[in-house]
Amino acid sequence: MNNIKENTPVIVGITGASGIELAVATVDLILSLNFNVVLTISSAGRMVWKEEIDESYGETIERWVESGRFTTNQIGDLSAQIASGTYPTLGMAVVPCSMATVAAISNGLSDNLLRRAADVTLKEKRPLVIVPRETPLNAIHLKNMTDLAIAGGIILPPQPAFYLRQKTTAEVVDYIANRTVNALGLIDQLPSRMRYRNDPRNEY
């Protein structure tokens, strides 16, 4: 790995959709691969965090800061570096992504730092991985996601790989985090335990 890649951060945006565990696992994985992370989280994201996660937001941030590869930016800080295309990043994951933020990004509404960073990621042709969470999806959600895919975004719904016969939520979360990091281009391939049982690569 060259130094540019090692030091250039990945942006992670957390919104107020269900599935905060997916965000925690994604940041944990990116840091474990020794990439830098810049995080921004919406106020709704903080609300959902309280509902879904035992480890508090503050404790988790402290743990991530200890890695020496992690910073956070306030959602309202539109002057943060990640709001500018001249600031190099390896891409961005919005995980989980609410339908409100899907709508905002697909319509170019850069009205907070997360949405602006996503807009910048698209315009700079860097990977933007959207992990949308809503069910069922209405026609507006689907249209907005189609527009995002046309604009170059990668829509990665957090669906279990049933063929892997995973038994726990933790296994599914780990799998989605690996798919997200793979889609960002940070890992070339999934761990063998996450491959289809007939995958020829399993022979090696």
Ligand X SMILES: Cc1cc2nc3c(=O)[nH]c(=O)nc-3n(C[C@H](O)[C@H](O)[C@H](O)COP(=O)(O)O)c2cc1C
Q: Does 113 bind ligand X (CB under 6 A)?
A: no
Q: Does 44 bind ligand X (CB under 6 A)?
A: yes
**Of 103 and 183, which CB lies nearer to ligand X in the complex structure?**
103
Backbone angles phi, psi at 115, to 5 degrees: -70, -40
Interacting residue with ligand X among 36, 40, 60, 98 (CB under 6 A): 98
Which residues on neighbouring strands pair with residue 72, listed in sequence order? 39
**Of 17 and 92, which CB lies nearer to ligand X in the complex structure?**
17
Q: Does 144 bind ligand X (CB under 6 A)?
A: no
Q: Does 99 bind ligand X (CB under 6 A)?
A: yes
Write down the least CB distance from residue 106 to ligand X, Å. 12
Backbone angles phi, psi at 22, to 5 degrees: -65, -40
Q: Does 134 bind ligand X (CB under 6 A)?
A: yes
Q: How far is CA 40 from CA 70, 71, 151, 188, in A?
A: 11, 9, 22, 26
Q: Does 77 bind ligand X (CB under 6 A)?
A: no
Cα–Cα distance between 200 and 90 in angstroms, integer?
30
Residues 66, 13, 110, CA angle at the centre, nearest 5°? 135
What is the Cα 190 distance to its own chain's centre?
A: 16
**Of 100 and 194, which CB lies nearer to ligand X in the complex structure?**
100
Task: Write out the H or E segment, with its range, that includes residue 52.
Answer: helix 43-52
Q: Would you list the DSSP string of 75-111?
A: TT-TTSGGGSTTS--S-EEEEEE-HHHHHHHHTT---
Q: Does 18 bind ligand X (CB under 6 A)?
A: yes
Stretch that binds ligand X, among 80-88, 96-104, 146-154, 169-177 (CB under 6 A): 96-104
Write down the least CB distance from residue 40 to ligand X, Å. 10
DSSP class of residue 9 equals P
Q: Does 40 bind ligand X (CB under 6 A)?
A: no
Contacts to ligand X by CB under 6 A: 15-18, 42, 44-45, 47-48, 51, 98-101, 133-134
